[in-house]
Amino acid sequence: MEHASTLLIRVKNAFMMVAEKPQAESSSRLPRRFGKYTLLDTLGKGGMAEILLAREQTNLGATRLLVIKQILPELAENPAFADVLIREGKLAARLTHANVVQVTDLGRYEGKLFLAMEYVEGFDLNELLRRCSKSKIALPVEFALLIVAETLRALDYAHRRTDDEGNPLGLVHRDVSPSNVLVSFEGEVKLCDFGIAHANEAARDVAGEQIQGKAGYMSPEQAHGEPLDARADVFSAGVILWELLAGRRYYRPAEGQPMIALARSAPEQPLPERGLAHEDALRGLVARALRPRREERYPSAQAMLRELETLMVQAGLVANPLRFGSWLREHFAEETLERRRARERALRALDTGPPVVITPLPPTVAPEELPPPSSTGSAVPPPAMPLASVPSPGFPRWGLVVVGVVVVLLLGALAFR
């Protein structure tokens, strides 16, 4: 028993050492703990944050996958950026809509500023278009219109959102671009990163290439640094629609020309003809969304959405998430499903616990003192328990009491004779 209990202690200590080891390792190792989350995989890294897949588990064992955005240290340590991100993140957490990626947490852990948000299994629009190009698969027009319509639905909700007293929150996304439009294999379209672009504008040390990359979808007033309203997001949605229908970038800067300069001038470009039904109406819709002067654009995302949906019905280009999801799974799901299977295997291994190599301790009794095996081949009986825990052998105490009573009775009988 002493040998067995010591072995159990050795197993427990070994498991604890393996379980605690990741905390002492480099923060780049995965999986690893991050507060109440377990970071599983790196999804990407941009000019603002590192994006990681994470799992959250409750005390009762319920789990869900999330995305953790760890803000890069050079931005997280910028007071202007951090203050605006926290303020905008609190507002974004109030957004609950089918077309908006839900923000579930905002905080700091180990000095790292982070946001936790809903995980969407699929692609961002940039990645979808890249895969279409690589596979030489054209994105059907009805799905392109569906993507923009769902994006406008998200913007309309956010623009109209009020606080608990009914006052408008005044939310403007500021970064409606393909990298922030997510599509899932269920055909859902979700807009993410509300408020983050505002924090970027507050920081003075954002990388120049990051600004250049986003400038391709900026409204002229945003490129000039003017105050913004919902019509800036309408312009950005118009750029996405133009590019999906034309199959190329809206802005094409000349060699050496900064993209931000092109965004400030906002030269109007007509949508190329594609022979679509009601194409003139579609070209007029896109042109109105892309007017350089905001007063000439749609006054709201809702106004643009209504006109777009009417045109989709008239042109017979109506689609729904069910059909879109089926198309995505047919062409692009195999690689993603394999990644999902690999992730599920890793999660099962993580839940089972790390393997432990147990080195048996030497027996407490020397081998020459052990009794020989029995003739029947049965195992050697365990060593006896300590004497202090074993009752003394011999005649039971209650037997002594009975004998004493009998002797007394016999003596009494003899005395009465």
User: Tell me: the pLDDT tens digits for 311-356?
Assistant: 999 999 999 999 999 999 999 988 777 777 777 776 677 666 665 5
Question: What was the pLDDT predicted at 378?
Answer: 42
pLDDT in tens, 70-91: 999 888 888 888 888 888 888 8
Which residues fall within 8 angstroms of residue 2, CB to CB, at 6 or more apart? 364, 383
pLDDT in tens, 208-244: 445 445 899 999 999 999 999 999 999 999 999 999 9
Would you state the structure tokens that stand for residue 203, as one six-digit string? 């920081």
Q: Which class for 187: exposed (0-12), middle (13-18), buried (19 or more C-beta within 10 A)?
A: buried
Phi, psi of 279 (to 5 degrees): -65, -35
Give percent helix, percent strand, percent coil of the chain, each to the nearest 5: 50, 15, 35
Domain architecture of the chain: domains with CATH: 121-351 (1.10.510.10)
pLDDT band (50, 70, 90) for residue 24: very low
Dist CA 219 CA 232 (whole Å): 5
Average of pLDDT values for 113-118? Answer: 94
Residue 272, classed as helix, strand or coil, is coil
pLDDT in tens, 174-184: 999 999 999 99
Average pLDDT, whole number, for the chain? Answer: 81
Q: For 287-291, which contacts have Cβ atoms below 8 Å and span 24 or more sequence positions?
A: 289/234, 289/235, 289/237, 289/238, 289/241, 290/235, 290/238, 290/239, 290/242, 290/250, 290/266, 291/235
Q: Which class for 379: exposed (0-12), middle (13-18), buried (19 or more C-beta within 10 A)?
A: exposed
Q: Please answer whether residues 124 and 180 qualify as being in contact, where contact means their C-beta atoms are separated by less than 8 angstroms.
A: yes
156 is catalytic: no
Q: Please answer whether residues 128 and 183 qualify as being in contact, where contact means their C-beta atoms are separated by less than 8 angstroms.
A: yes
Residue 31: asked if its preceding bond is cis (omega within 30°), the reply is yes
Choosing from 124, 156, 175, 193, which is the catalytic residue? Answer: 175
Dist CA 184 CA 2 (whole Å): 58
Dist CA 251 CA 235 (whole Å): 13
